[in-house]
A and B are shown apart, each in its own frame.
Chain A
Amino acid sequence: SAVISQKPSRDICQRGTSLTIQCQVDSQVTMMFWYRQQPGQSLTLIATANQGSEATYESGFVIDKFPISRPNLTFSTLTVSNMSPEDSSIYLCSAEQGGNTIYFGEGSWLTVV
């Protein structure tokens, strides 16, 4: 099974600033995804991180707010831009490694003050 590491695990951010979350997988994977969970809500897909091309965003999420990079088959970053308190969430990186199983990182807990 894939082991996924995320950094930072937790942060408190000032509103108006941006933060980049890093995701490292211990093996090459084709598909990587970014999810978030706002308080009291379900885990929601932000975008699919495509290697070598622009990410594919879900309805309600835009590249200017959540720019994503995927420079290779083991690494991706998600930036949360111009943060507001509504961006306080858990952000999770995930990857598919065959057999339909999707693996997740431990999440990055962001609080915007």
Chain B
Amino acid sequence: ILNVEQSPQSLHVQEGDSTNFTCSFPSSNFYALHWYRWETAKSPEALFVMTLNGDEKKKGRISATLNTKEGYSYLYIKGSQPEDSATYLCAFSGGSNYKLTFGKGTLLTVNP
């Protein structure tokens, strides 16, 4: 059974704070690591797909890093805004069959 862990489970920050979350995943049979942003009643929004050890990706104020050898990824949000409030999910893919194993997510609340 694949185990994908995310921490923290939830996080409350003030507007303007920078924050980061962790995703740990199996370091064997790695194919890709996905990050999603999920707001209630909306589709999970794909943020990043990372495949190579050492990958760093950026989208606006959000960035992510990947370490496949030790099995972890970090998601960073710089200068959090209330609209960043959502659940952030990571998902591990162990092959090109595109099947995803998800963590339970980190619920971010940004207070104005």
Contact = CB atoms under 8 A, between A and B. Distances in A.
Interface of A: 1, 4, 9, 31, 33, 35, 40-45, 48, 58, 92, 96, 99-107
A92 B100 CA distance: 13
A43 B46 contact: no
Contact of B46 (A9, A40, A45, A102): A102
Query: Of A1, A4, A92, A107, which is in contact with the most chain B CB atoms at under 10 Å from its CB?
Result: A107
A96 B32 CA distance: 13
A42 B99 contact: no
Nearest to B5: A42
B44 A92 contact: yes
7 contacts: A45-B101, A100-B32, A100-B93, A102-B100, A104-B36, A106-B41, A107-B43
Interface residues of B, number: 23
A106 B98 contact: no
Contacts of A42: 4, 102-105
A40 B105 CA distance: 10
Given A101-B49, A106-B43, 5 more contacts: A35-B100, A42-B4, A102-B34, A104-B44, A107-B41
A58 B100 CA distance: 12
A105 B34 contact: no
Contacts of A31: 97-98
Interface string B27-61: 00000101010000111101001010000000000
Contacts of B103: 42
Q: Which 6 A-B pairs have the closest CB atoms?
A: A43-B102, A42-B102, A104-B44, A96-B98, A42-B104, A100-B49
B4 A100 contact: no
A68 B102 CA distance: 22
A31 B101 CA distance: 16
B77 interface: no
B36 to A, nearest CB: 8
B43 A4 contact: yes
Contacts of B41: 9, 106-107
A9 B41 CA distance: 9
